[in-house]
A and B are shown apart, each in its own frame.
Chain A
């Protein structure tokens, strides 16, 4: 639905977006994950036609953004980081205005869509209130309603759960998941759990460059580097950690300092990818006279991947 090709944006001397290329496939939820200032908002603004690009090509639903902006805008529902609301308008009137400028002309279709988005975004209670009276959560939802109102095939959401309380965040995430399939969604966030919970695929961006792109599980797999397990045991010699360290293929062993001199003890063990060393570890444990309590695999969380990737480049 969206093809971005070598997109570059320069503000004077500052390179905000550096040769970014990616695709948004039909029906998927694609996440832009990156720290603040990475270039997520700039990229979105270029895709929606708000900003120009220094170089590159973007096609949205088959239309080139720079030569056919109007067609592109008809196909996109955009929620900027700060929802663009007219404070003095009532919710209902505002959404009606948005419907009109997005091309919904015929009375009956417009009324139907209005009803639908008000219901979908849970705005029934506030639809006659002035927007300046709404709380942040409601404002965000009005912003989302505005993006949905003309039923665009593509949604571009810039930090959709920004400023919401945990309850509302869950609701928004559920809503976004519901909408995928029928709509193709590009969202940006710097909240890592959001990316892993909501998105099908994730693009990690930092300083204007895409550092990694893949589905969440594959990313975790690729970037693990080493296998990690945690070992809970009791008994055995004091230098159990050192002994395990001696085993072939083991890279790192660290002991988690728990209760002093107490049992049970916890070791975090890293070993090379490829061969499963767990059998050898357990055998050594038992031979040393210790009792195995728990052997748990540790997968790398998105947090760790993220920090590793973005600090490598930093």
Chain B
């Protein structure tokens, strides 16, 4: 739909006019690179040592999977780090329009709330994809020096895409609730931190809640993707999550008429 694209393109471009896009992408790539370098070096060290040991002991040389060790770790870092940076991307989507009064322009123009919301969502989502794009370089790097499996890498990216959509839908919802970007950012950060904690709970063996948490956790449903498995349950989870987030956002914007 043309209107969706118009909104999307304007918003996406405006990310790059201010420092927002550059800082967010820069910080993200820096942190992920940092984690990648650490893990990769660690992997290299461990494998060399183990191989040297085995040779010395005349044992069979153990096999290591670069996929299991490095790539899965890389994508988990992408998942976690983006969770904490996404509030920076989503907080302005509606809050700024409300504050500057441009929402009045949008809501008195012949476009539907659905078109408006999708356009904004796609802009945030587009920036998210732009942010994750440079990580392809790390994967490429591993192909040059190792022998990773392409399958899990592709499914992991697919998982990141679904995961990003779900998380952004929460961010855009919170942004639509306030005029103040800082409040939106803080609330979104709090909400995402909560989501992350739920994810950690699902990984713990300590509490009885871990099973429940694993059903609802945004982060946990990514694990299958990271292992190379595409499970329809995970896809349905993410799509439902995204749908609910966007549905509530729609209601929030529609309710502004009834102030």
Contacts and interface: CB of A to CB of B under 8 A. Distances in A.
6 contacts: A45-B104, A50-B104, A84-B101, A85-B102, A97-B10, A98-B105
B106 A101 contact: yes
Nearest to A105: B2
B208 interface: no
A48 B109 CA distance: 9
B63 interface: no
A86 B17 CA distance: 12
B108 A49 contact: yes
Contact of A101 (B14, B18, B103, B109): B109
B257 A87 contact: no
A97 B102 contact: no
Given A88-B14, A105-B2, A73 B110 contact: yes
B204 interface: no
The A interface, classified by DSSP as helix, strand, loop or mixed, is loop
Interface stretch (A75-83, A263-271, A274-282, A302-310): A75-83
A111 B169 CA distance: 36
Size bracket, chain B contacts: 20 to 34
A71 B108 CA distance: 11
Contacts of A73: 108-110
A204 B156 CA distance: 65
Contacts of B103: 84
B93 interface: no
Contacts of B110: 70-71, 73-74, 101-103
Contacts of B85: none
Contact of A88 (B3, B7, B18, B111): B18
Interface of A: 11, 45, 48-52, 70-71, 73-74, 76, 78, 80, 82, 84-89, 97-98, 100-103, 105, 146
B104 A80 contact: yes
Interface string B2-29: 1100110010001001100000000000
Contacts of B104: 45, 50, 80, 84
A52 B104 CA distance: 13
Given A86-B14, A97-B6, A101-B3, A48 B108 contact: yes
A87 B108 contact: no
Nearest to B103: A84
A49 B105 CA distance: 11
B205 interface: no
Listed residue (B7, B101, B106, B109) with the most chain A CB atoms within 10 angstroms of its CB: B109
B112 interface: yes
B258 interface: yes
B107 interface: yes
Contacts of B258: 52
Nearest to B112: A70
Closest 6 CB pairs of A and B: A84-B105, A73-B110, A48-B108, A100-B6, A74-B110, A84-B102
B31 to A, nearest CB: 27
A7 to B, nearest CB: 15
A219 to B, nearest CB: 30
Contact of B7 (A51, A101, A102): A101
Nearest to B18: A88
B30 to A, nearest CB: 26
Contact of A50 (B14, B17, B111, B257): B257
B100 interface: yes
B259 interface: yes
